[in-house]
Amino acid sequence: MNYAFTETKSSQTARQLVLLPARTRDVLRISDGLVALIDVLVTVCHALTDDADKRPWQERLGDVFQDRYKDLDALGVADELNRLQSVLEEGDAREWARRFRSSSAKMFLRRLLGAKLADELERAVLEDAAVVTAAVRRGVRLLMPYSVAIEDAISMLTPADLSQSNLSGAEAKLLSAVIEIDRLLGEQVVQWLGIDSETISIASSAPFSSKDVEQLTLDFRAFVSADSSNQIARVNASLVRKVRGARQALDHSVDGVSQAANSIVELIDRLLREAMPKDVVLAWLQTNFRNDGPYVRINDSGERVPTKRGEALCFIFGASPIRRAEGASADEVPALHDAIALSLVRARSSLQALKHADDPTENETASLRNILAAVEGALLISVKLGLASRNPAEADAVVDAMSLDNQTGNYTIPEALG
């Protein structure tokens, strides 16, 4: 097999497999494409978890593919991915993994390769597995603030809304689900692999527990609020004052609920209007939908104008074309996009009802705070889904602001956000 390794951190498993005779690899059903796939996966994970490399992650990955993987098809990676997908669909991946780690599999490898080569291959596999586990776990933890943003946004929807958007309702407990994935990675996977905590720290760092959900939710809302304000400022910096004013009114004003509700309604309306003018929204809706549906209405002058839901949906897509799956309806919208657009509409309607709360109750004040969190979450997810494309430096700045400690795998909150 003619496969060249560079100085870039790469797969130790692939290096060991390349050294095996072709006949031995045939017995093990290890194709050149599989070796390349393993190397691509591990090298990418190395690049993403290299804390010494301070460049944006997009630049790191760009270098990886520019240096080594200019033509993945020629390496057979795509064919191998399809083959592995078929294998996983036909069988139980967990059972396959159990057999790989079984004593009989080890004995077979030792007879086929000899004790020295078999031990070296096992060490290489475990070393690579630690790198991949660390990268996956870091990714899972970086998703946690966004899971809170989605939870808060989805909280505005009724069961009928969820059904209409083809959501299951499980999204309402997304942070708990992400924490459970983190726990599985931190306990069962790490234990199964036998990863030494000194090998790669975040792979075996202490998992969060279900008891942490309430505090984590509050912590991550601070991150969501800060990043949401950054995105609002990209459209109109003065609109950020609407969010700050709403919070100050809630904290210090007698009629704070009414003031805050007015501020947030104005924020939603002006943000949608300034980001996507109505003529742009109408043109986008006409291009992407066969029927007007809930996105266009006729005003008192007999003109077709976009509804708030239509404006929100265009905002979320950034006026880019909707890419539908083959065979999908001409009016079908991805579930999460539709749900986030609808959540903004529902939040705005609830705020309209609170605009006249001159003598607010504790429940109305609490409700307003929850709606504000929902709006900030919806706006942030809208941006992530397609409104603004960050350049690499900005993308890394967001990750840095979240203060995910790459050694412990835990978050810290900057004083400015607390």
Report which DSSP code applies to 122.
H
- What distance in Å separates the CA atoms of residue 107 and residue 275, rounded to the nearest whole number? 64
pLDDT at 110: 86
Question: Do residues 133 and 189 lie in contact, with contact meaning Cβ atoms separated by under 8 Å?
Answer: yes
pLDDT at 170: 63
10-residue averages of pLDDT along the chain (418 residues): 58 90 87 87 87 80 74 73 69 60 78 88 86 84 88 89 72 73 72 57 56 79 88 86 90 88 94 90 92 90 93 91 83 88 94 84 90 93 65 42 45 35
Q: What share of residues in the chain are helix, strand, coil (percent, to 5)? A: 70, 0, 25
Question: Do residues 175 and 217 lie in contact, with contact meaning Cβ atoms separated by under 8 Å?
Answer: yes
pLDDT at 401: 43
Let me know how long the chain is.
418
Q: Which residues contact 389 (CB under 8 A, 6 or more apart)?
A: 318
pLDDT at 36: 87
- What distance in Å separates the CA atoms of residue 270 and residue 267, rounded to the nearest whole number? 5
CA-CA distances (angstroms) from residue 196 to 124, 201, 298? 14, 8, 65
Name the residue among 319, 282, 312 with its Cα closest to residue 299: 282
- What distance in Å separates the CA atoms of residue 370 and residue 352, rounded to the nearest whole number? 15
